[in-house]
Structure 1
């Protein structure tokens, strides 16, 4: 079971899987006869605190001029029960405390006639039962016959006690049967109302304090961070401890290794939920846990990736914890990052099996067959030739080649490295604007150089250093930093943050209205980009304390890192404070992972995300004039003189080619890479510029390919396309 808190009240509760919300929320209401009710979530001021850093038990103090309400939330470590303990102190004796609980989606709700009464709801095959010191209960429909509507319509008096409601958006309501003082509630979950109620009552009988103590002890017994890491934090290590816990909490308990991106939906839009698995977010979470010493968590992540990998070697853009695709879209970096996670485990000496046949080989083959352009980049609103996606893919192919060589797959190893060399050699031609001297966010054309006005300005090039392909002091990196900082850097009171890219509209409007698909706003600063800049600073030998402090400030007193922070003037009515979380997703696992990895890298003076084979091959003296690789996804049209051309096809046979218009021809047999395709090397290095090479494929069975192909030799210095 997982629970979240928003606006000082219980928000989504997930059960029995972390991507399956059972309860949409439980909020407290306060009312007195003759006056409108107070919705605590919307009208009170809240302070949310961890019981102690690293223990996911939370206390909330809600203050309103009519009352003070203190609550704490914890789960029973031994059963499916959520406990809420509270202490209510109204200013006037006739002020009463109520609650309203809303099951997620279509549900059935009913009042259980007990002494005191209880509330039950069924959502699909899950039952939940809420027990506590209730004097009266009701089960209505949200926004029509719920308790809050009743209190509003009747001047603060509860008049309706509906027995049941079903087949819709149900809202359960209760009046707490006391005027002030402490109270305890329990929500039990089970396969039947009897099972759920039994668990809840048993927990209350044992006592919230005892259960909470067992919960605290269980979390304290888990391995923590080293003293060296905590010492370099700016806040004494509080956010680091909480980040480690947040990452651990993102894992599903039944399908181990399935780490979701966040247990929430940005701006409360259910269709936009982040309670799904993105392999990119999973990589960052699992590698952060690996850096923190939690080897088993990283191994579980690899096992989960192996279990959910599709037959073609890819993963969906996002998926449920069961592996069911949430969309049909695809991002190449999400195919490459699982390879890098395997490599990270291997470097740490804790890889417990050979991942080449089960994960690395199929994923690498998919990259080679599909790249270099990505259907979607990591921001999921555009595709093309992304420096970030390319950096990740090239690094992944480099280490995949090493995995292949390790098991004797020499043909595969050779070809994967040839493709990595080709893409690396073309990278600047695809994504670097030589006129304005910076990398673009997205290149669009395999045959022409990018233009800033087409590709946009973003920080995607930082991944070239992060993965080891370029040095931090590379002039192209440095000039790109200058170009990107001008429109994207935001200097806040506690340090610098960055927006994603010029033209980003994923965020609140300037007047604080929430983002929606029909009302785009303005993209705000993302803490993860501050973490990425911190890693770049480490690679360049620069101080990183300012990035650490800026990230810690983003977390606020709740110690939760959000997707975005507000950079406008304070808007109290919208709960937007400069430098604090917007209505975007929080806590975001990727952000906590970036902070934790930056802190560990700072403490150890190491860069574990930098892929050593890629750094050795490309950051110094990269291979001179590597072969140009033709693939159906990358049908080369021009080749610089002096280059070998490798043709990649999906059937064996012979490549029949001519350089004199067909007056003569040559036959080059293909050989099997054991990656699902065959290759042939065309020795065209001596051909002069202007020569047109025509070719086709004669299959092994004697049939011919339906198409003819050609490329033109161009002077050296013009990039291949």
Structure 2
């Protein structure tokens, strides 16, 4: 609705326009440059540089998409005969959000939405409508067949409706959106509003209106160019600076686009800009307006416009069908059809396989198409709408070998053998070698976080991320994806150096990181925060060493038995380095002796003393014995420890203690669609990676605070489900009835956390503290990161495990080797 408090911006615009027009007159510009009519003023350059501080969009995506592209000999080959569309998009709060072109992290757009004016009101689509989302292409059971979406946004007061169909063009680097406006009262005027963030920043953009095209680029000579065009002409259009002279500010006083700025700069000066275009007014109630909108990308204006126009000319039906798959294009339906195990896996879900199909699509969509096999963590920037976009940031659109492993194993679980093989081969790019720029020390470990092109971003040493490539290689070899000859070559080239680092560690010097690693003590555990002896890290280290020993035997490596010997030694040391017998949380016997349990991490390998964890995410470090973390379940998953182990069972009992104070409590309960209670788990007690419980501010929105709180992570429901399956197998209690209970509890539990677009989040609201500006409901995904690839991967693996009645990530060779 009208917002009178924003009228102050009108005076800023008017003053700036007067100044601008005076300058134009003094410089003897032609009358056309300052053409004024009774309804609007046409001015060449918009005032208000650089605009307000740019941010990214809301991170709780309800949809993501890109075109499916088949490999050619393990690569993406972009040729005239086989064009590769390198465009990815996301949807949140009912509108198109970050849209990437080129590399998967290279955002070009923050947001595209509509502004709607009518009698006595001006609405923004994002803030004034109720949004629903569904898949355009589904099978008879409602399972999605492609990442094409129908979004319907209805005005909260019932005055209009906007329907949008969104997907990309497989033949070009462009996105298509079919838009239908329906007015339910007379006098509704739609306006398109585009906020570019070209080449992964929102502070250096230039916007211009060029005929019937909206164009954005940066001041850099190598800038990407984005063009927006529709097949219905604009009535008027304007470029401006966000919050100062953009279309939202212009429209809010009288519902009219009074100023038609042609560009935001004639001196190559960038800022936070927006483009606004007015469409014909829907004069009568029940009038409608439909048009196709295309966003095209290129390395210059000519190629960007040509791409945009070509997609418009191709038309909605042809582009949508190519996206799905037709006689000339392998599309998403063809990819799904290639995943043969899905047919059996569907029967082990509680939603007829809807989330399973969506997960398959989402996982494949989050792979770069320049660097084949580069699997990212999430197509989002955590808490993006409170994070500055002045400087480029990959957010979660980057490679972590740990998340990478989870995804590769999920591809294998659903029958895709190509992607995990290509992904495994990609890993060599992110392994530290002597020639790694700026590195000195012991090579063989894998970088903490990199861009998809291998550019180094974070440089902490995480031993699980060095073990997991070995584990993945072993799994691919056992599955027949890698031959004996291939795995032998990879062992010598990549896996043996990694195994050697797991054995001896060594000195590391790269960027800020100048340290010595002494395994199994890790510089960072899987949450990238603490140093010491970690159960989850050590589980991977042991599994990695055993896998290396097995592959090494094939390769006739004389050192191979040493890896197995060390694995057995580390297993024997688990309880002395990571299990406390002087715990502060467990029950005690009649002599006051505490039941033993796994700590989250022991800084110095002495879990019975008062060592504190380091302060992190605003939280002061507590005594190591106070912090519970379900990571010890990885010991069971990989075959290091039996599910019936009494220390494991004691630790599980503590994780399940819902009587702990909220800061230390890990387990929470949620209501599934059948009305039953399903479990959710936080990462660990005293977790500060989340919203402030008092102010409701996003994580670190105004700096870290002690009241920040990490919420429930849905993939832990899957990890627990894997443990309970292993326990039932160990107890010999797995029957059709008990299996059904496991599926209803853990598979359905994960399905409970999916949003309407079937996206699974990193974190879900646990109901503790201020529900934030978004008024989160219990179990709803937060603004941290959705979809999280790891969560989707864990769901796929859990369903496969239930189907096979065997934990998918289990390593029989680990169990066998450690038993010797």
Question: Structure 2 length normalisation: TM-score?
Answer: 0.73
> What is the Cα deviation at residue 109 of structure 1?
2.9
Q: Which residues in structure 2 correspond to 1:687-706 (within 5 Å)?
A: none
> What is the Cα deviation at residue 343 of structure 1?
0.8
Distance 1:50 1:448, change over 3 A: closer
Distance 1:229 1:188, change over 3 A: same
Match of 1:357 in 2: 492
Match of 1:99 in 2: 192
Larger radius of gyration: 1
> What is the Cα deviation at residue 522 of structure 1?
1.5
Match of 1:606 in 2: 806
For 2:92 and 2:535, the matched residues in 1 are separated by: 37
Residue 45 of structure 1 is aligned with which of 130, 141, 158?
Answer: 130
Match of 2:380 in 1: 264
Distance 1:525 1:572, change over 3 A: closer
For 2:350 and 2:574, the matched residues in 1 are separated by: 38
Match of 1:390 in 2: 538
Q: Does 1:438 align with 2:600?
A: no
Residue 229 of structure 2 is aligned with which of 120, 131, 148?
Answer: 131
For 1:284 and 1:81, the matched residues in 2 are separated by: 30
Bigger shift: 177-186 or 600-609?
A: 177-186
> What is the Cα deviation at residue 513 of structure 1?
3.1
Match of 2:467 in 1: 336
Bigger shift: 559-568 or 429-438?
A: 429-438
For 2:524 and 2:629, the matched residues in 1 are separated by: 15
> What is the Cα deviation at residue 575 of structure 1?
4.4
1:13-68 CA-to-partner distances (Å, cap 9, x unmatched) read 11111111111121221123653x21211221111112231410011111112321
> What is the Cα deviation at residue 161 of structure 1?
1.6
Distance 1:84 1:572, change over 3 A: farther
Bigger shift: 597-606 or 439-448?
A: 439-448
Q: Does 1:232 align with 2:340?
A: no
Q: Which residues in structure 2 correspond to 1:17-416 (within 5 Å)?
A: 17-32=103-118, 34-35=120-121, 37-51=122-136, 52=138, 53-64=144-155, 65=157, 66-104=159-197, 105=201, 106-114=203-211, 116-122=212-218, 124-132=222-230, 133=232, 134-152=234-252, 154-165=253-264, 166-179=269-282, 180-217=288-325, 218-222=331-335, 223-224=338-339, 225-268=341-384, 269=387, 271=393, 273-311=395-433, 312-352=443-483, 353=486, 354=488, 355-370=490-505, 371-410=519-558, 412-416=559-563
Give 3-state SS (helix, strand or coil) of 1:502's partner. coil
Give 3-state SS (helix, strand or coil) of 1:461's partner. helix
Give 3-state SS (helix, strand or coil) of 1:294's partner. coil
For 1:408 and 1:48, the matched residues in 2 are separated by: 56
For 2:797 and 2:444, the matched residues in 1 are separated by: 28
Q: Does 1:475 align with 2:659?
A: no
Q: Does 1:586 align with 2:786?
A: yes
Match of 1:454 in 2: 624
Q: Which has the higher contact order (CA 8 A, sep 6+)?
A: 2
For 1:111 and 1:395, the matched residues in 2 are separated by: 57
For 2:279 and 2:562, the matched residues in 1 are separated by: 70
Match of 1:533 in 2: 720
Unaligned runs of 5+ in 1: 624-721
For 1:409 and 1:78, the matched residues in 2 are separated by: 48
For 2:431 and 2:347, the matched residues in 1 are separated by: 40
Total equivalences in the alignment: 616
Give 3-state SS (helix, strand or coil) of 2:207's partner. strand
Match of 1:701 in 2: none
Match of 1:4 in 2: 90
Distance 1:107 1:405, change over 3 A: same
> What is the Cα deviation at residue 417 of structure 1?
2.1
> What is the Cα deviation at residue 447 of structure 1?
5.5
Distance 1:236 1:345, change over 3 A: same
> What is the Cα deviation at residue 476 of structure 1?
0.8
- Contact kept, 8 Å, 1:387 with 1:439, in 2: the verdict is yes
- Contact kept, 8 Å, 2:578 with 2:607, in 1: the verdict is no
For 1:600 and 1:285, the matched residues in 2 are separated by: 13
> What is the Cα deviation at residue 604 of structure 1?
1.4
For 1:295 and 1:390, the matched residues in 2 are separated by: 28
Give 3-state SS (helix, strand or coil) of 2:709's partner. coil
Give 3-state SS (helix, strand or coil) of 1:460's partner. helix
Match of 2:710 in 1: 523
> What is the Cα deviation at residue 567 of structure 1?
2.0
- Contact kept, 8 Å, 1:77 with 1:215, in 2: the verdict is yes
> What is the Cα deviation at residue 607 of structure 1?
2.1
For 2:291 and 2:771, the matched residues in 1 are separated by: 34
For 1:615 and 1:19, the matched residues in 2 are separated by: 40
> What is the Cα deviation at residue 209 of structure 1?
2.1
For 2:294 and 2:318, the matched residues in 1 are separated by: 14
Distance 1:118 1:169, change over 3 A: closer
Match of 1:493 in 2: 671
> What is the Cα deviation at residue 261 of structure 1?
0.2
For 2:403 and 2:466, the matched residues in 1 are separated by: 12
Question: Structure 1 length normalisation: TM-score?
Answer: 0.82
> What is the Cα deviation at residue 509 of structure 1?
2.8
For 2:796 and 2:688, the matched residues in 1 are separated by: 28
For 2:401 and 2:666, the matched residues in 1 are separated by: 26
Distance 1:433 1:378, change over 3 A: same
Give 3-state SS (helix, strand or coil) of 2:135's partner. strand
For 1:439 and 1:493, the matched residues in 2 are separated by: 29
For 1:504 and 1:272, the matched residues in 2 are separated by: 23
For 1:8 and 1:448, the matched residues in 2 are separated by: 49
Root-mean-square deviation (CA, aligned residues, Å) is 1.9
For 2:638 and 2:609, the matched residues in 1 are separated by: 22
> What is the Cα deviation at residue 446 of structure 1?
3.4
Match of 1:597 in 2: 797
- Contact kept, 8 Å, 1:440 with 1:450, in 2: the verdict is no
- Contact kept, 8 Å, 1:563 with 1:586, in 2: the verdict is yes
- Contact kept, 8 Å, 1:499 with 1:525, in 2: the verdict is yes
1:409-453 CA-to-partner distances (Å, cap 9, x unmatched) read 11x213222322222211111100123411000011135646693
- Contact kept, 8 Å, 2:215 with 2:225, in 1: the verdict is no
- Contact kept, 8 Å, 2:629 with 2:685, in 1: the verdict is yes
